[in-house]
Chains A and B, each alone.
Chain A
Amino acid sequence: MQQIIFFFIRNKNFLLFLLLFTISIFLTVNSHSFHSNKVATSANFFSGGIYSIKQNVRDYFNLRTQNDLLVEENNRLRELLSNSGSPVQKEIIDSTNVLWNYDFVSARVINNSYSKTKNNLTIDKGSNDGLAIDMGVISSKGVVGIVNSVSANYATVQSVLNTNSQINAKLKNTNDFGTLKWQADNPFTATLIDIPRQVQFQLGDTIVTDGKSTIFPEGILIGSIADYKLARNQDYYELSIELFNNMTNIGHVYVIENKAAAEIKELENALEDVE
């Protein structure tokens, strides 16, 4: 017994190091898998609070660009509204009967990273505002990411610029869909993989989200085709996508809540269980 105690005392530094190192590795691996409860994220009272203070100062330097972005978006929405034809305005919509599928919550980005291989954003809305894990996040120009942890007042978002991210996307013209990934090369381009070889497309074609996942509604803008090459097995294209969003400068975002998500998930799970 004494021997064991002496052993521990003699090697206490090494044992402590080993313990802490194991904990850190565990946390790292834990953060690499998307569907797990994150332990250490910036969505907490302390770091969220400090980032809010920081952002309050930084906001002033961005006012002009953010205002321009909002004006641009208003402009686009106004065009949509005035060109959508008269029926929308004439019909009186009874909001109690309409099934609103998507709820939008606006939020402010209080921390953003884009230079690492696994980038995350922190936003200043949390479960108190109805946010939950797996909700989509977009800005006025397109897709930003997916919520991956929430606290009462803050949430973290796994950015499009994260090598773990996989987003269902399709070509706007032909509806052929693939998976949007990021290859960690630069913050302005992502890669759309698994587009079949026979698909016709042109450089500059628009890529939008595909409505098949429960995270994003159909047709949210992503980017345009900048370059293409055949994948290694020669059957699929790998399209290089230039993102519409400038991910290095994100101010305000919208979090999308899909009200049907739970029901769809339940159905799909039931199907998997049968199989």
Chain B
Amino acid sequence: MWNNEVMVNAVRFVVLLLVQVILLNNINLFGYVNPYLYILFIIVFPFTGNKTLLIGLAFLLGLSVDIFSDSGGIHAAACSFLAYVRPAFLKVSFGVSYEYNMVKISTAAFGERLTYISLMVFTHHIILFSLEIFNFNHILLILKSTLFSGIFSVVLIFCTILLFSRRS
């Protein structure tokens, strides 16, 4: 069982990375809107899993995306921050005792799920675009990119979870 979970997460890591860098980085809707689906890895990582491991893995995932898109370390920074604050977001969205209630993302209520995913996506995007643009004169561009890319990412992540959730 444990091995199975490791395998699933490893495959998810690689597949999400490849989909992101080969396909989604080239969408450029309206010229600049790209979804960032790969943070799905951090979002659906087992809620009771090892937090330290997640921070390390998130950093690796972000760094890989950075290497592919020549962006220095912006994805790595956003991802490691996301992994670090995830427990707090889980508490906010699913209640304090999420760890004992065996909450699963595919079975949670719609509102809770939406809160959780939106919090994660928009936190990630605001850090990502602030670091990428790195200039307070372009603060409007930062907010605009965050908003549009964020909406796109949330919709895509929702659809992906719906598609791949196993029915029990």
Contacts and interface: CB of A to CB of B under 8 A. Distances in A.
A269 to B, nearest CB: 28
Given A41-B70, A118-B71, A20 B52 contact: no
A16 interface: yes
A27 B66 contact: yes
A47 B68 contact: yes
A51 B22 CA distance: 8
Contacts, number: 110
A147 B65 CA distance: 21
B72 A27 contact: yes
Q: Point out which of A50, A111, A117 has the most chain B C-beta atoms below 10 A from its C-beta.
A: A117
Given A24-B62, A27-B76, A17 B55 contact: yes
B63 interface: yes
A82 B132 CA distance: 48
Interface of B: 18, 21-22, 25, 28, 31-34, 51-52, 55-56, 59, 62-63, 66-74, 76-77, 80-81, 83-84, 131-135, 138, 141
B77 A24 contact: yes
Contacts of B132: 116-118
B55 A13 contact: yes
B138 A42 contact: no
A267 interface: no
The 4 tightest CB contacts between A and B, nearest first, are A31-B72, A27-B73, A24-B77, A24-B73
A30 B70 CA distance: 12
Interface string A18-31: 00110111111111
Nearest to B29: A115
A41 B84 CA distance: 25
**On chain A, which size bracket covers the interface?**
35 or more
A136 interface: no
A118 B67 CA distance: 14
Contact of B56 (A16, A25, A120, A122): A16
A119 B67 CA distance: 13
Contacts of A26: 73
A41 B55 contact: no
Contacts of A51: 68
B69 A21 contact: no
Contacts of A114: 28
B73 A28 contact: yes
A23 B132 CA distance: 15
A17 B84 contact: yes
A266 to B, nearest CB: 30
Contacts of A12: 52
Given A30-B72, A113-B25, A115-B32, A42 B67 contact: yes
A39 to B, nearest CB: 8
A51 B25 CA distance: 12
A14 interface: yes
B31 A16 contact: no
A101 interface: no
A238 to B, nearest CB: 15
Nearest to B78: A24
